[in-house]
Structure 1
Amino acid sequence: MKEIFVERRERILRVAIKSNNELIESIVEESKNEPIIGEIYKGRIKNIIPAINSVFVDLGLDKEGYLYYSDELKAKGIKKGDDILVEVLKEPLNDKGAKLTAKVSIPGKYIVLNCYEQGIEFSKRIEDKEKKIELLRNIEPLKDVCITVRTEGANVDINILKNEISKLYDEFQNIDKKMKHSLGVRKIYGEDLTLTKLLMNFSGEEIIKIYVDNSIDFDKISSFAKGQENLKIEKYEGYRKLFDFYGIEKEILRLRHNKVNLQCGGYIVIDRTEAMYVIDVNSGKNIKEKSFNKTILETNLEAAREIGKQIRLRNLSGIIVIDFIDMRDKSQRDIVMDALKESLRLDKGNVKIFPFTQLDLVQIARKRQGKSIYEYMEEECSLCKGRGIILKLSYIEGLIKNDIVRMQEESSINCFHIQMDSVYKDRIRENIFEFMKEIDGLDKEIYLNYVDNIEGYKIEPLIFQGQKDNLKDYKVTVIEKY
């Protein structure tokens, strides 16, 4: 059985997925004034530059997006000031705006609707001609959209396909209405896109238990799950955060470590550069096999399985390069490649794996979906000019709040001593009230001091008066709070 945990904060949506009580995937999406892959906008053409074959589009956001000035667009005679329907292909990077396309589509699990096109098409992987004929007999073409049957769509009941087509067509009609009648430029499709895509991938026969911590997501997911008996939804009503209550927070924190040990005695190391992620495979203490070739194959095989798991757990995206241990027997490459592909098989539509290079390197391109755990949890250290990484202060505040709530539930304690790493000292002192508010400490006795070189923070409950007396110089006063 799979479990999905959906935790929403003011501007952050976090989703964790467990299979047989093991964490297998984590996704973080932050609400901000930037476009996300898959969103659809009513935009307005700001400029056309034929010299670089580019069209710049106002999306109503901080940065303009851009798209390729194709022959098709030229034939349509588009001009500056025209409204245009566009979909986000790539998110903004540094000073560069989002990459867009005018070929807009609405994806489902089994069907894709291509907006303002006609006909019925099939995935190239569907080769069964009789199956295609059967589908063409049973699926009615629709006005202003082309229906594309995805690979998995060839293997499900026709009524399931029809139901999904109906849902997606409702979405298209809503987009069409907004495109024609709404005023100004704005996003017209893609609210909570990460959650929607996730739910679509898990619709089917497998039993899925979904935990949510707010009424809006509960109602939204309940509406989506209507008629799907495999989706069971439970609303979490506790005061502690959902991830903290179910122990997921601790599991995610452990993912910060870049070294992952393998059962065979080897290990992998996951490093980040500005351009890519690099994963190095090492044999380590794996000396069980007498044959050197067997040792290499065993380590590489186990590493391939673990790498697929870690990519999804850490939500790594972009370019990922894997440096496997050199294989003298080149036939072993196919075995390792099969294991790597299998480990990423469930990451549908998001991953492209390239063949081994002569140096036993494998390159993976993975589509971005939300933030990686590093982007969400970490920030550059101001003391070392960005050469090191520390936990975000906002993330630590959430952890401290979880600890305070848990200790209160367990023993009704209302007084706490918190030690913070000195790197956060100036930022906390600049706005002590905001810090106290975020840790839920405004109505509590908090003793706060700063210590060099600790991992973020330490917290302990204060039970005896003697403890408080010893720490009196660190007490946060009422004046500081308010």
Structure 2
Amino acid sequence: MSEEILINITPMESRVALVENGVLQELYVERTQKRGIVGNIYKGKVVRVLPGMQAAFVDIGLDRAAFIHASEISTREGAAVEPISALVHEGQALVVQVTKDPIAKKGARLTTHLSIPSRYLVYMPNTSHVGISLKIEDEEERERLKQIVANAMSVEGIVTGGFILRTAAEGVRAEEILADVRYLSRLWEQIAGQMNTAPAPSVIYEDLVLALRTLRDLVSLRTEKIRIDSRESFVRASQFVSELMPELIDHLEHYPGERPVFDLYGVEDEIQKALERKVALKSGGYLILDPAEAMTTIDVNTGAFVGHRTLEETIFKTNLEAATAIARQLRLRNIGGIIIIDFIDMQDEEHRRQVLRTLEKQLERDHAKTNIIGITELGLVQMTRKRTRESLEQILCESCPSCQGRGKLKTPETVCYEIFREILREARAYQAEGYLVLANQKVVDRLLDEESGNVADLESFIGRPIRFQVEINYSQEQYDVVLL
């Protein structure tokens, strides 16, 4: 499978597209004025302890206080975690790392279990464990990597802290891993020094910008090209790669074309589609994605697909195609949290198993951690996907000011009846010569047409005239009743 990474840089924002076999699979957006803070380390101050929630709020210098649970402070696990009041107190300085960006009205999530990533390793200063990514399955390779890290720690005189070997370390030479160990050791010395001297709240360590994080975290053996459309960013990326991952230097390419690099690969069109509720399947079926605060639901429909054999075969084919499409949409839209999938009901147990297996197989390439819990008695697939950053929709969109994010508007008929009730309230409370209704064009049209008889009856009942005026800037639900 061929893979390319496209990096589009402007002064306002950076965007990264991961393209597999010519199809956009993942998109990352970082606005210059709203950079993500996952991975950043802060010296914060505890501002409130919540014993009932086993948690505390910590001021790290953001608009909203961040949240930390007792389990993210304690070195114990499960039921053995100490009470939060035994771990921290108000006013206490605390060194923390951000694990989740602030999302919607929720503050950032924190941990005191610090970790610093490099190309092949993650350094954890507070543990003595050496772990290996589960995606590296070969036992001989796992043992080789473990021995390399143990030798490197001995050579560098590292007596505290532990490492996790990332998937990218598979097959890598000992010298390259040793270089990573040295880099992380130096970086930790700098961070540790600042931890003692920095005021609270303040930032101690900031993660790399998006373009460089991409090179560190997303590039794999499948990556054939990394195209960057900014000369300045290309030079920075080349320096970064030369120092830390020289094997990638031939994969880097500056894209100088007049046509935007995202247009060249159809990425802009795919971004627009990723903001739509409905996703068309090639067979004629479709998905409906409904993100909500608690969870995201995905409904699978056959649509225009009628198949060529039996109904069960048609349903099975649609569900198989949907499983692949769903895995892509979760990655592309960066949907996290609880996800409920309503596949079309299948009678054949083997068909159900194959659809679930297809979904699992497609999710293996997801960089975010996913967990398929199983199928409920109602036939719904339950799964979770780790949420660390805002979804694509949350970054690019905001709630509709007309419907307040409901996705629905009151009908002109409903608004007309609300206006009638408002006029009745005003007539009972105040003496007036008449009433002027300011409303949206559709509402006024209905008042003067279908509701004209009701308007005449209301005028007769209150003994006052009612006039209407169109306000072009009013939404369908917006109106005012003015006393004359």
The normalised TM-score by structure 1 is 0.70
1:41 aligns with 2:60: no
- 1:253 to partner: Cα distance: 1.8
Matches within 5 A, 1:1-400: 1-32=2-33, 36-69=37-70, 70-72=73-75, 79-108=89-118, 110-122=120-132, 133-139=143-149, 140-141=152-153, 142-150=158-166, 153=169, 156-192=172-208, 194-214=210-230, 217-226=233-242, 227-229=246-248, 232-236=251-255, 242-244=261-263, 247-368=266-387, 370-388=389-407
CA distance in 1 between partners of 2:61 and 2:227 (Å): 34
Between 195-204 and 70-79, report the one with greater CA deviation: 70-79
Matched letter for residue 217 of structure 1: S
Relative to structure 1, is the Cα distance of residues 32 and 355 closer, same or farther in structure 2, using a 3 angstrom cutoff? farther
- The aligned counterpart of 2:469 is none
Other structure's SS at 1:87 match: strand
265-274 or 379-388, larger mean C-alpha shift? 379-388
In 1, Cα distance between equivalents of 2:286 and 2:87: 57
State whether residues 28 and 371 of structure 1, in contact with CA within 8 Å, keep that contact through their aligned partners in structure 2: no
Cα distance in 1 between the residues matched to 2:159 and 2:235:
31
User: TM-score with structure 2 length normalisation?
Assistant: 0.70
Q: Secondary structure of 1:310's match?
A: helix
- Counterpart CA distance in 2 for 1:286 and 1:246 is 29
Distance 1:151 1:305 in 2: 24
Overall identity of the aligned pairs, in %: 33
Partner of 1:401: none
1:354 aligned counterpart, secondary structure: strand
The structure-2 alpha-carbon separation of the partners of 1:99 and 1:370, relative to structure 1 and needing over 3 Å to count, comes to closer
* Structure 1 residue 323, shift from structure 2 partner: 0.7
Give the SS at the match of 1:288: coil
Cα gap change, 1:353/1:374 in structure 2, threshold over 3 Å: closer, same or farther?
same
2:45 and 2:94 in contact (8 A); partners too: yes
Residues in 2 aligned to 1:248 and 1:71: alpha-carbon distance in whole angstroms: 44
Note if contact 1:66-1:98 (Cα within 8 Å) is conserved in structure 2: yes
CA contact (8 A) 1:207 1:230 kept: no
Contact persistence 2:22–2:265 (CA under 8 A): no
Cα pair 1:37 1:368 within 8 Å, conserved: no
Letter in 1 for 2:107: G
3-state SS of paired residue (1:228)? helix
**Following TM superposition, by how much is the alpha carbon of 1:65 offset from its aligned partner in structure 2, in angstroms?**
1.5
Whether the aligned pair in 2 keeps the contact of 1:35 and 1:88 (CA below 8 Å) is no
Task: Give the Cα separation in 2 of the matches to 1:218 and 1:30.
Answer: 19
Counterparts in 2 of 1:165 and 1:335: CA distance versus 1, 3 Å: farther
CA RMSD of aligned residues (A): 3.6
Moved more, 123-132 or 193-202: 123-132
TM-aligned CA deviation for residue 239 of structure 1: 7.4
Deviation at 1:304, TM superposition (A): 0.4
Q: CA deviation at 1:13?
A: 2.4
Give, as a single letter, the amino acid of the residue that structure 2 aligns with 1:254: K
Q: Which residue of 1 aligns with 2:463?
A: none
Q: Is the 8 A contact 1:210 1:231 kept in 2?
A: no
Mapped contact 2:101–2:389 kept (Cα < 8 A): no
Aligned pair count reads 395
Q: 1:362 to 1:174 in 2, by over 3 A?
A: farther
Q: Could you say what secondary structure the match of 2:361 adopts?
A: helix
Cα distance change of structure 1 residues 39 and 337 upon mapping to structure 2, 3 Å threshold = farther
* Equivalent pair of 1:42/1:187 in contact (CA under 8 Å): yes
What is the CA distance between 1:200 and its match in structure 2?
Answer: 2.4
Stretch of structure 1 that moved more, 310-319 or 378-387: 378-387
Mark the CA change 1:203 to 1:272 in structure 2 (over 3 Å): closer, same or farther: closer
Measured against aligned partners, the alpha-carbon deviations of 1:52-76 in whole angstroms (never above 9, x if no partner) come to: 4323322011122232235548799
Once residues 290 and 208 of structure 1 are traced to their aligned partners in structure 2, the CA distance between those partners, rounded to angstroms, is 41
Q: Which moved more, 1:187-196 or 1:138-147?
A: 187-196
What residue number does 2:458 align with? Answer: none
Cα distance in 2 for partners of 1:162, 1:75 equals 41
Larger radius of gyration: 2
- The CA distance in 1 between the partners of 2:145 and 2:257, in whole Å, is 48
Deviation at 1:273, TM superposition (A): 2.5
